[in-house]
Chains A and B, each alone.
Chain A
């Protein structure tokens, strides 16, 4: 077969094709060591932190799931969503309403909340099919207010109370009664979601999302249905976020509509912007960073002995998020994930500033 090449060198076609897929398990001993150290660290974290910080870590782990959902939608499929709080609220309220009078199994509640989130995602996906970036954002904003109002109505008229109290959940008899137990459960779930998200992006479904986000006409001319790709992106990610919402409802033990305000949606956007758009690692970093940030600052001020009243700090969060978002957009648009990548390459190349230029294998 005659080879066609735009470069002047002709390449013998008998060259074996290099496998370009990376197998996660095919690592060097160095990476294995770091992986084991990382796992050990995560497992022994509860031994070194106080209960309050463990609680924060649990919140961060739940936020990781929500942030991954949002990042897949906004970072990878590039459908900007301001409806994060609505999806979280839908999950939380689904869990709350199901457990008001009955006591259904924990996993069943999570499943139903996930399905409800997916259905909500389907509804908001329909108007987004013909819209572009900014208008999709406005659509999701409309969804946010619609859901917010509905939750308010449910809380005020149907339940006639100021919130719902959820029971302590149990997985096959294992009662999630302490932050420690929650920590390990959430660690397993979040790790599962992280791996699932990474695999999703490598699957045909994820590839279709990215292709449609990148160039919808070219994607369509290859036979990808743009509308199906967008709908599936909305459904899958909002189901994920709703799942996180239900988990959060269970974890906090109470669900009130006031919690799911626009500020929460902005917080999640801050997570993915600070963490790194379109990167799963970015969602993880961003979620942990943003969740722990206010309390870290409080702690820092306490340690430094600067007069920190609780009341003065409440307004500081929003200012801080704003400054962080602007700062990251200006100076580090690819987020913490990019910083981490740079640290990693710097460490691997260590005594040298640059890696030796690799000869392109021809």
Chain B
């Protein structure tokens, strides 16, 4: 098998010399795949992708161990704009659009950002013109002249994804794709990602808490807990797995288990 597009090996990230948020996470994303990275709050998901995209901001947060390889290059320590130009597009967690600009201008900014990186665009899969983007996102075309601050949550997510498509990504990492969205819109966003993957062969890494949603579209999934990968496997297998069903999907064999029981069970049964 050829080398995966993104390969994270034994990653360790320490906050302020004290908190090890990510403790030896390894995973890989193949070209053209949809991979999920799920876990509860504080599991280290966001920290991991910040390490990948170079967004770990200050001296007090450091990648202390491990390697990240993207398309054959070691990218630990790169600036965010460098990783972005190399083809890693991150849709950030909450604020992701430029509020004072109109929708059209938001997209133009994305175009502006990649003008310097055009020379590599030949190898990438993505959209290069606004026309194509508007064809894919008609709701954005209808609001092209509106300020982005007036968009709804779902539209903001669409706009953010549209903007990243304009930067000709090789992999698009969506942090909390469905945060604060209604279930219907959430499904639309997930469908959109699956669509992009199918039509363009775009590699997608979804980072989310919504285990069921991610499992439904991802081919392969990693479950993070307290900075460790505790489970990984094909989505179909994970869906059948007893512990995953119990902890993340809320199904229990036999008697109903309360939160307290689950917590107790977790303490007894060390996954790592």
Contact = CB atoms under 8 A, between A and B. Distances in A.
A208 B101 CA distance: 12
Given A204-B115, A215-B95, A215-B99, A221 B130 contact: no
A210 B155 CA distance: 21
A292 B50 CA distance: 53
Contact of A222 (B79, B163, B192): B163
A129 to B, nearest CB: 12
Interface stretch (A3-11, A111-119, A330-338, A340-348): A3-11
Contacts of A73: none
Given A6-B154, A20-B144, A222-B163, A207 B135 contact: no
A210 B154 contact: no
Given A18-B141, A18-B144, 16 more contacts: A1-B136, A3-B137, A4-B158, A7-B139, A11-B139, A17-B135, A20-B144, A208-B112, A210-B101, A211-B101, A214-B98, A220-B55, A222-B163, A222-B167, A223-B114, A225-B81
Contact of A20 (B81, B85, B92, B145): B145
Contacts of A208: 109, 112-113
A319 interface: no
Nearest to B81: A225
Contacts of A1: 135-136, 199
Contact of A220 (B81, B104, B108): B81
B185 to A, nearest CB: 6
A210 B98 contact: yes
Given A223-B84, A223-B117, A214 B101 contact: yes
Contact of B167 (A3, A20, A223, A225): A223
Contact of A224 (B55, B96, B113): B113
Contacts of B108: 207
Contacts of A20: 104, 144-145
Interface of A: 1-7, 10-11, 13, 15, 17-18, 20, 204-205, 207-208, 210-211, 214-215, 217-226, 360-362
23 contacts: A2-B195, A3-B135, A11-B138, A13-B135, A17-B141, A18-B141, A20-B145, A207-B105, A210-B100, A210-B101, A210-B109, A211-B109, A214-B101, A217-B80, A217-B95, A220-B79, A220-B81, A221-B90, A222-B109, A222-B110, A224-B113, A225-B79, A360-B142
A66 to B, nearest CB: 24
Interface in B46-103: 53, 55, 79-81, 84-85, 89-92, 95-101
A333 to B, nearest CB: 14
Nearest to A222: B113
A258 to B, nearest CB: 39
A34 B266 CA distance: 76
Nearest to A278: B100
Contacts of A220: 55, 79-81, 84
B109 A207 contact: yes
A4 B92 contact: no
A20 B140 CA distance: 13
A5 B108 CA distance: 20
B113 A214 contact: no
A7 B154 CA distance: 10
A4 B98 contact: no
Contacts of B114: 222-223
Contacts of B160: 218
A362 B140 CA distance: 11
A211 B53 CA distance: 19
B231 interface: no
